[in-house]
Amino acid sequence: MDALGWTKTRWPWQQCLLGLLLQLFLALCFFSYLRVSQDTPLWSARSGADAAEALDAAPKGSSGTVSCQGAPCPTPPGSSPASTVVNVSAKTELVAWVVSNWREDSARVRYYHLLKAHVQVDVYGRSHKPLPEKAMAQQLSRYKFYLAFENSLHPDYITEKLWRNALEAWAVPVVLGPSRSDYEQFLPPDAFIHVHDFQSTEELGRYLQALDKDHARYLSYFRWRETLRPRLFSWALMFCKACRQLQ
């Protein structure tokens, strides 16, 4: 058999393998998509039991209750760091923001400049106060509120890492990004503050100051933890990230 004949017989076989791999990849994408669509909504207002993905139902008598605010609370074995209980009454700082990608012309930085005229905001990250990854949860847990401002304002674009940082530190997320209803697919409506709930940055600033002084009202932002618990990891969200990278 000459060299040409050999290549002729070899190529179809390789194409077959390539085709097979492509089909496998497409099947994987399809199943990921199915998983993602099944997971939505990740949280439902009707029943805590629907909150399967981003939020797990807290086991009865677990540490998720607000009344149980101290370190001695029992933590279920094998639970994620998200179920760490922070003494909400011991918080001493008001608003924190961790930002690595600082762009003066971005919507979130412009909003921050307006907001900081009405409420003190501590900014961490590159070119601001340093905050090592290891110390992050601990440091943020001293704050009552956390600015979870999206880098890009796009419908359906939510970086869950932002508000997960906040939930892990038991800081109430103040979100800027897509609409409130988009966030409510992932978070209970009373678990976060949306900037669109307010006419102006001044109004939001005043609201945060008022919550700072009204502890009972501030605690109402933790009531959902009596029945739900944030979950840090979800395959659906991982696949979402992968898809976003590929786009």
Q: What gap in Å lies between CA 202 and CA 111, rounded to an integer?
A: 11
Query: By C-beta, is 161 or 217 nearer to ligand NAG?
Result: 217
The residue number with the shortest CB distance to ligand NAG is 70
Residues 6+ apart with CB under 8 A from 202: 117, 118
Residues 89-128 vs ligand NAG: string with x where CB under 6 A?
xx--------------------------------------
Segment near ligand NAG (CB under 6 A); pick from 86-94, 106-114, 159-167, 169-177: 86-94
Q: What does the per-residue mask of binding to ligand NAG show for 16-55, with x meaning CB under 6 A?
A: ----------------------------------------
CA 215 to each of CA 88, 170, 208, 218, 221: distance values in angstroms, whole numbers, following the listed order: 9, 14, 11, 5, 10
Site track for ligand NAG across 61-80, x = CB under 6 A: --------xx----------
Looking at the Cβ atoms of 19 and 74, the one nearer to ligand NAG is 74
Which residues contribute to the site for ligand NAG (CB under 6 A)? Answer: 69-70, 87, 89-90
